[in-house]
Amino acid sequence: MVSSARAQAEDRAPVSARLLRVLARGDAPEPRFEAPEVYGRGAIQRIARALPPVERMYANVRFSIMRSKILSVMDLLLPDEGPILDIGCGFGLFAAYFGQTQPARRITGVDPDARRIRMARTVAAKLGLEGHEFIV
């Protein structure tokens, strides 16, 4: 048992010194929180499989730039249901991703490229996303 004088001295020690003692004993607390990926790779793989080969490569590169944790944070910032406007939606990659995470979202994607809009519609249909609209 630790004497009260020693306990008081330990309480006054700098936090860094106390932490080093705990780590040296090997009984450091387990991390309590991890940033979970809501859908992560699975959602991205489903989107990529819904695209032709060239666009599939583009989608994989595009999503590799955005880390899954960033996508999870963005997902938390969007409303869980109702309308969302995606300006410059391109192939509808983000609409497809965020539509999978919360099916009650109704995403309207707008892009000047008619070919990309057609592809966005195809992806949404292949993924079974309902209520999404893509407009040139």
Decide which of 20 and 37 is more confident. Answer: 20
Q: Name the DSSP class of 91.
A: T
Report, as an integer, the average pLDDT of 51-80. Answer: 90
Q: What is the pLDDT of residue 35?
A: 43
The predicted model scores a pTM of 0.69
For residues 78 and 118, give the distance between their C-alpha atoms in angstroms, rounded to a whole number. 25
**Alpha carbon distance 90, 93 (integer Å):** 7
Residue 30 Cα distances to 24, 36, 78, angstroms: 15, 16, 31
Q: Where do the structural domains in the chain lie, given as residue ranges?
A: 40-135
Residue pLDDT, tens place only, 120-131: 999 999 999 999
Tell me the average pLDDT of the chain. 84
CB–CB of 16/79 below 8 Å? Answer: no
Tell me how many degrees the CA angle 12-16-22 measures, rounded to the nearest 5: 90
Domain 40-135: top CATH class:
alpha beta
Q: Give the per-residue pLDDT at 95.
A: 96
% of the chain beyond a pLDDT of 70: 76
Tokens of 5: 């004088």
Q: Where are the beta strands (DSSP E) in the chain?
A: 82-87, 105-110, 133-135
CA distance 17 to 67: 35
How far from 13 is each of 25, 68, 81, CA to CA, in Å? 17, 40, 51
Average of per-residue pLDDT across 28-33: 49
